Structure 1
Amino acid sequence: MNKEDSTHHKEHTHDKNHNQHKNHEHSHSSSSGGGHSSHHAHMVKDFQKRFFVSLILTLPIMWLSPMLRGFVGLGEPVIPNYMLVLFGFSSAIFFYGGWPFLKGLFNEISDKKPGMMTLIALAIFVAYGYSCLVVFGLKGKVFFWELASLIDIMLLGHWIEMKSVMSASGAMEELARLIPGEAHRIKQDGSIEDIRVSDLQPGDLIMVKPGEKIAADGEIKEGSSSINEAMLTGESKPVEKSQGDEVIGGAINGGGSLTITVGKTGEDSFINQVMTMVQEAQKSKSRAQGLADKAAAWLTYIALSAGLLTMLIWMGIFGKDFVFSLERTVTVMIITCPHALGLAIPLVVATTTAIAARQGFFIRNRTAFERARNIQAVLFDKTGTLTKGEFTVSDLVLFSKDYDKDKLLKMAAAVEVHSEHPIAKAVAGAVSGIEKSDNFKNIPGKGAEATVDGLNVKVVSHKYVQQEGMEYDSSELKGIVSQGKTLVFVLVDDAPAGCLALDDVIREESKQAVSELKQLGVQVMMITGDNETVAKRVAGELDLTEYFAEVLPDKKADKVKQIQAKGLLCAMTGDGVNDAPALAQADVGIAIGAGTDVAQETADIVLVKSNPEDAVKVIALSKATYKKTVQNLFWATGYNAFAIPLAAGVLYNMGILLSPAVGAVLMSLSTVIVAINAKMLKVSS
């Protein structure tokens, strides 16, 4: 048996220092992720504030607008110089509410990638500029109401959209929190001083007390303990480590005290390498553009071309004066930017988010979510994703006829109830009533013992039995051993009475999820840090397409790249810190909700209910969302095919000329259609 058999166990305490350490500053502070995350949150609040301020400013504009007053049969307001008052409110909304779009225009033009910001800025600039000329003497009609309503709708759309696609950069902060803020450094005279982890140097000696997190990567110089590396390496079993073994910063120490020689620090540490991989993978997939931006780019070219063509035709061919031609041009360019386009995507996003929440998952990255409809391969992490990530007693083999299985299990549970070790908890949790025991003692690195019904009962590892040269009938264990299960021996008065086999339980939903994904034509794969034997058994039970065993943490993202190199659009589903780079590298990263905050912060989608079957729902909702998005973009942009020619005056000789007022009605109608269509989005559960 190798060390994956989990040489059972020192008494384990909870990580009591986690909460007090997690807020300390250290060398991994969130300069990369946290800054971007807080900046993004500030932008969301900024759009929210600008929307409400602009909405308030719109009220007097509505009251003073000649177009709206004409609709309801009102004459000119009895306010002296009311046009100057209207100009004042409109100027405020143009410069304050329109600033993000004017700034976006500059950025998009600088990048030579005109998009939504360019289109919006063009429309509001033309509306404002022309209206100002009218206020100060040019013959024509003001477009201040169109200006205000357009800014309001666009601010609302961007606010909704940004709230729905909050950045995943919080992963940097979550990774940093895994490392404790302080370390117990052993000085040359043997005394101990507490220093910041960032001050550690390679070669320093540090002490790690029972239950604490290991402060840095290194090698054990003295002591032995079971180390819980599940959230770091994906290894489902606590690993027994002693002098000469390497340890990873962030892993949780078991019941033994360790003296560790610090190896890697700073950028070379395991956690920092994971952070770097996450950061690089996130950057590589942040370049995607949405369909709305592409539509906006085309509409920008159409608006400029149609506006210029309208001016040239009316002045050059039909001989109309400049004022008439300019009004037609302005009307065309304003109508080219329909309100509906600004809401086409955000409304679908908002509806999708609500449906996703009801179905048990949370969308963090809309671009990646949209890609999910084309997923061709899903790579599942084993521990904590396809399995529950916790031990349970799966088999019990008797060596003595003096006890039945129920009695032996209760005796073992009576001993283990005193220990906090994961294996001990599994054994104690396998019975409903715990018998009384006395004289509990921990057997360092090997197990525990106690007196039960006057008998000395030991619950120990396989290695302990081998070292003591104890004899037992091993024939019945061959099948269990071949499955890679963990063996725990029960000794009564130092004689082997039986053996318990523990296993990481496969989730009930996993088989159904694999089956449904295969029906969709998706290849289902598994990746794990566990050994080949365990991986093969789990893959066989779930009928997986392919599996990868004994994958080191820094190689998981490479496996995703290998799948992508085959031309497959790949989704990664996992829950551990070691999964973070792979989640970021995948075309779609899906985190199991019960996993670490790091996995959730790195992922594009979080399965709140920790149900692998929800991965199927993600794909189904993505397909439905894409269909609805295309429909909305059709309604939002297709209206231009009808409105622009009329605004330009193609039916002028027939007495039909689209006024700005009618154009506003058409824009409103398009917006209503888009809103209703978004709300009709449904996905079968």
Structure 2
Amino acid sequence: MIADYRRRFWVVLVATIPILALAPMIQGWLGLEDALRFPGDRYVLAGLSSLVFFYGGWPFLKGFLREITARDIGMMTLISVAITAAYAYSIGMVAIGSDETFFWELATLIAVMLLGHWIEMKSVLGAGRALEKLASLMPDEAHLVADDGSVTDVPVSTLKGGEHLLIKPGEKVPADGIIVRGESSLNESMLTGESKPIFKTVDTEVIGGSINGEGSLTIRVDKTGDETFLSSVIKLVKEAQASKSKTQDLANTAAKWLTFIALGGGLSTVLFWTLFTDQGFGFAMARAVTVMVIACPHALGLAVPLVVARSTAIAATNGLLIRDRTAFEEARNINAIIFDKTGTLTKGEFGITDTLVFDTTFTESDIVAYAASIEAHSEHPIAQGIVRDAPEAWGVDKFKAIPGKGAEGLVKDRDVKVVS
């Protein structure tokens, strides 16, 4: 869809340039008078404008048919009425040899509307990338444990409830389930926002998409496919993308009333100039088309997609997935925010803030270096934070992980334990 709007916009933009150059009104504004006129120029204008109307205006004409069928008049109807009136009147003027056309107004109107919808599609695509990132949390394959204890790699899509899976250290959990053997710490930050890995043991639930820590686990599959926690999150995001905010509803409501006003204004203009003046029908139609073209919501067509695109981009950049656009707009009235627990607001990056030394024979740098030497052998997020902030690290002998607690080893012939 986004490629279609982009292609139509550039084609219309290229065609609009000569349309503007050949338009008698534009030439008059620039003081060129008849400098760019040539025999048959009005037919060139008609040809280029026909391309703009049928190719560039097709998405709006199709939307008009959809709104009429659904009996839900909106912005597409108003845009279609305006461009159809401008095109039909202008072609009629060319047919009788007149230069009083609306070709340049038609071209610029369609170009602006295509640009607005292209921007809107880009914002939708940006939100789609967030969904792709969520979906990528789930691995493609799982280690299926057979009744005889043998392990086979199978696609995640083939998993069934009740099957046993082996989760190796550092791997992603392929499905929601219950631990039946082993214990380990799991990183669920991408799913729940909890920055600290959670220690889990037998009979504890695990979430598909979370990352296993240092231990090996065997789980019994509980939920797969669309039933998993991750799938429910993705579904919520999709529903949010499909929902419309109050701003969009207001724009559509305004477009609906503007359509009635434009049609009524155009009809009233024709009747007034025909019945109450000495002007001809052509003069009256020119004024009627002017009314309908001016009533078309250029600002609504461009401003609303721009606001949606910009707000969505800023939110996504800051790690915020919008579940409800209406609630997002109402957030401007918030005076206070209450979070459920400590750690909700975090970057997920651990580090050393303070160091307490109880033995004066060691400096703070020594203590951190000893700890970093042990933690350099661990993939735990807290361990990585200690290593990152340490001034140096030394070699370790007899390294041993302490499941659920930490690790230990010999550093410079000293027995060092880093535990929680």
Please indicate, yes or no, whether the TM-score normalized by the shorter chain is above 0.5.
yes
Q: In the superposition, relative to structure 1, how do residues 167 and 219 fare at CA in structure 2: closer, same or farther (>3 Å)?
A: same
Shift of 1:126: 0.9
Counterpart AA for 1:128: Y
**CA distance in 1 between partners of 2:352 and 2:124 (Å):** 39
1:49 paired residue number: 7
**CA distance in 2 between partners of 1:144 and 1:402 (Å):** 87
2:398 paired residue number: 439
CA displacement, residues 283-320 of structure 1 (integer Å, 9 cap, x when unaligned): 45557525544443333222211111122222223354
Residue 112 of structure 2: which of 141, 148, 153 is its match?
153
1:602 paired residue number: none
Q: In the superposition, relative to structure 1, how do residues 257 and 90 fare at CA in structure 2: closer, same or farther (>3 Å)?
A: same
Residue 118 of structure 1: which of 60, 77, 88 is its match?
77
What is the 5 A alignment of 1:568-583? Answer: none
Is 2:23 the counterpart of 1:65?
Answer: yes
Identity of matched residues, %: 50
What is the 5 A alignment of 1:546-585? Answer: none
1:109 paired residue number: 68
Q: In the superposition, relative to structure 1, how do residues 138 and 301 fare at CA in structure 2: closer, same or farther (>3 Å)?
A: farther
Moved more, 308-317 or 56-65: 56-65
Indicate the RMSD between aligned Cα atoms, in angstroms.
3.7
Q: In the superposition, relative to structure 1, how do residues 184 and 310 fare at CA in structure 2: closer, same or farther (>3 Å)?
A: same
Is 2:176 the counterpart of 1:201?
Answer: no
The alignment's TM-score, normalised by the length of structure 1, stands at 0.53
CA contact (8 A) 1:58 1:149 kept: yes
Report the secondary structure of 1:189's partner residue.
coil
1:305 paired residue number: 264
1:511 paired residue number: none
CA displacement, residues 464-497 of structure 1 (integer Å, 9 cap, x when unaligned): xxxxxxxxxxxxxxxxxxxxxxxx3xxxxxxxxx
**CA distance in 2 between partners of 1:345 and 1:264 (Å):** 40
CA contact (8 A) 1:51 1:97 kept: yes
CA displacement, residues 570-614 of structure 1 (integer Å, 9 cap, x when unaligned): xxxxxxxxxxxxxxxxxxxxxxxxxxxxxxxxxxxxxxxxxxxxx
**CA distance in 2 between partners of 1:135 and 1:363 (Å):** 54
Counterpart AA for 2:204: D
Counterpart AA for 1:264: K
Q: In the superposition, relative to structure 1, how do residues 120 and 277 fare at CA in structure 2: closer, same or farther (>3 Å)?
A: closer
Report the secondary structure of 1:90's partner residue.
helix
Report the secondary structure of 2:110's partner residue.
helix
CA contact (8 A) 1:214 1:252 kept: yes
CA contact (8 A) 2:370 2:411 kept: yes
Shift of 1:69: 4.7
Shift of 1:50: 1.5
Report the secondary structure of 2:174's partner residue.
coil
What is the 5 A alignment of 1:97-246? Answer: 97-137=56-96, 141-163=100-122, 166=125, 168-246=127-205
Q: In the superposition, relative to structure 1, how do residues 434 and 203 fare at CA in structure 2: closer, same or farther (>3 Å)?
A: same
Is 2:347 the counterpart of 1:392?
Answer: no
Report the secondary structure of 2:185's partner residue.
strand
Shift of 1:97: 1.4
CA contact (8 A) 2:64 2:77 kept: yes
CA contact (8 A) 1:393 1:430 kept: no
Question: Number of matched residues?
Answer: 413
Shift of 1:261: 2.0
Counterpart AA for 1:58: T
Q: In the superposition, relative to structure 1, how do residues 65 and 197 fare at CA in structure 2: closer, same or farther (>3 Å)?
A: same
Counterpart AA for 1:57: A
1:610 paired residue number: none
CA contact (8 A) 2:181 2:218 kept: yes
Q: In the superposition, relative to structure 1, how do residues 361 and 200 fare at CA in structure 2: closer, same or farther (>3 Å)?
A: closer
**CA distance in 1 between partners of 2:302 and 2:236 (Å):** 35
Counterpart AA for 2:104: W
**CA distance in 2 between partners of 1:449 and 1:145 (Å):** 78
**CA distance in 2 between partners of 1:370 and 1:246 (Å):** 36
Report the secondary structure of 1:309's partner residue.
helix
**CA distance in 2 between partners of 1:408 and 1:154 (Å):** 64
Is 2:414 the counterpart of 1:455?
Answer: yes
CA displacement, residues 149-179 of structure 1 (integer Å, 9 cap, x when unaligned): 3222332343345435646244443332211
